[in-house]
Structure 1
Amino acid sequence: MSDAWLWLGLFILLAYTLEAITGFGSTLVALSLGALLLPIDDLLPVLVPLNILMSGFLAWRNRHQVQWRLLLATVLPGMLIGTSIGYGLRHWLDDGPMKLGFGLLILWFALRELLRGAPQGHRPSWMTRLQTGAAGISHGLFASGGPLLVHALAGTALDKAPLRATLLCAWFGLNSLLTLAFLHDGSLAPALPRIGTYAPLLVLGALTGEYLHQRLAEGHFRTAIHLLLCLCGVLLCWRA
């Protein structure tokens, strides 16, 4: 492996450790760091199948908390349409505009989390569906629709645990479809050796994160990773 792919292994370990500590999206962290060294089109066929393993396990473990009506009536329809659009747009964009768009996305999310104010009230259903579609486009482009989807669903009355379980099901389904798309366009097969190489890092990251979760302050980790994402967003925009 080249130095860039070795660094990606470190980023993956960091990303899944942080997700186990804070519940924060592992793909967003790994992709934002990895995109500083490698093309996004090369990263996605590796990171998306890896995410299936983690989200599938967690979704099954928390299946009793899934809100199926919200998932089937609101989340999946908008996300499926948006993801299809985003995946199609990837073939029309080169790496520069994709890095710029992704940099702006993670800057928005990181700054929003750092400056988070009071929760917003309920939104009209049409706005939730529109924002869900936008989250799907982001997911099709970068496999990182989480920030926008969480924002879209912020006006729902769900508690934290049912919302998390519902989102895990959405990521498992959408990333499974993206993986089939990568298989169809030929980008998955070359990535399989790297996926197999990185898979043990998911277990190590989950175990390390679970250990640290019991001993360290979650808020400090959240602040640190959002500051790191701000830096990544600036660097991506600058290098786009």
Structure 2
Amino acid sequence: MSSILLGGLVVCITHILEAITGFGASVLAMPFLSGLIGVKTAVQIVSILTWLFTLTIALKNVHEIDWKQYGIIMGFMLAGLPVGMYLYRSQESGTLFRLLALFIIAASTTQLIRSANTWKQDEKIGISSFILLFAGGIIHGVFSSGGPLIIFYAKKALPDKGSFRATLCLLWASLNTIIIGTYLIEGSLGKETLGATGIMIPFIAVGYLIGEHIHHRIDERKFSILVFVMLLLTGIFMLFQTR
């Protein structure tokens, strides 16, 4: 029980951050939850909690969703998913995961330096941006962690913080619907997992209320900096997971 409650505290803190920015809770929470309750159980719990959490934010802020960008991101991710699923079965994933983590750390650090030096960023969307989306789909197929690559595109395509958060939350809710559907078809969701998930719901509710309050009071520049700080932390945590 103490492990579940400690896990709930981790879930609360990481979901405060996700309520502010629209991403990050899963990757940040996984290293801690895996150590507390085991990898398989942690993955299933996080998938369900993320689905509930992001669906709530998306529905509450449906008027802020950029449906065009949602379609573009989802389309490229779905195109890359089969490639990632193939690589998952045929390649050494540890090296790929470390390279992804190092790329995220380097790219987010670069963006933080730019944010510190200037208010205006280069927001042009080129072919490289769409390649990132496709790569995000591949990475998601291999590790279920393609989100960080999507953020680099979304930050350019969705400069408004409200639209950024709402659109990404709908994306995560959609992807986790597929994942949870797979669990149900396989019959892999046990009573222990569902019970632990139920215990943690109040923790994400508190995280939502605190994060929602902060989201509406943070200005665009600080929001942008926070996004890249979150990405940097994500890269570091992903690198930590490969040790």
TM bucket by the smaller chain?
0.7 to 0.9
Partner of 1:78: 76
In 2, the alpha carbon distance for the partners of 1:29 and 1:35 equals 11
Cα distance, 1:68 vs. partner?
1.8
TM-score, length of structure 1 as denominator length = 0.74
Cα distance, 1:47 vs. partner?
0.6
Q: Give the conservation status (yes or no) of the 8 Å contact 1:67–1:162.
A: yes
In 2, the alpha carbon distance for the partners of 1:158 and 1:191 equals 37
1:197 corresponds to which of 150, 174, 199? 199
Residues 183, 101 of structure 1: alpha-carbon distance in 2 compared, 3 angstrom cutoff = farther
- Equivalent position SS for 2:125: coil
Q: Give the conservation status (yes or no) of the 8 Å contact 2:108–2:229.
A: no
Q: Aligned-residue CA RMSD in angstroms?
A: 3.8
Count matched residues.
Answer: 235
Structure 1 unmatched runs, 5+:
none
- Equivalent position SS for 2:134: helix
Alignment of 1:119 with 2:121, yes or no, is yes
Partner of 1:69: 68
Residues 106, 36 of structure 1: alpha-carbon distance in 2 compared, 3 angstrom cutoff = farther
TM-score, length of structure 2 as denominator length = 0.73
Q: Give the conservation status (yes or no) of the 8 Å contact 2:155–2:164.
A: no
In 1, the alpha carbon distance for the partners of 2:38 and 2:104 equals 17
Partner of 1:59: 58
In 2, the alpha carbon distance for the partners of 1:76 and 1:230 equals 22
Deviations 1:36-66 (CA, angstroms, capped at 9, x unpaired): 6666544322111111111111111111122
In 2, the alpha carbon distance for the partners of 1:75 and 1:110 equals 20
Partner of 2:136: 135
Partner of 1:44: 43
Cα distance, 1:134 vs. partner?
1.4
Structure 2 unmatched runs, 5+:
none
Q: Give the conservation status (yes or no) of the 8 Å contact 1:179–1:188.
A: no
Deviations 1:111-137 (CA, angstroms, capped at 9, x unpaired): 35644546334233x433321121123
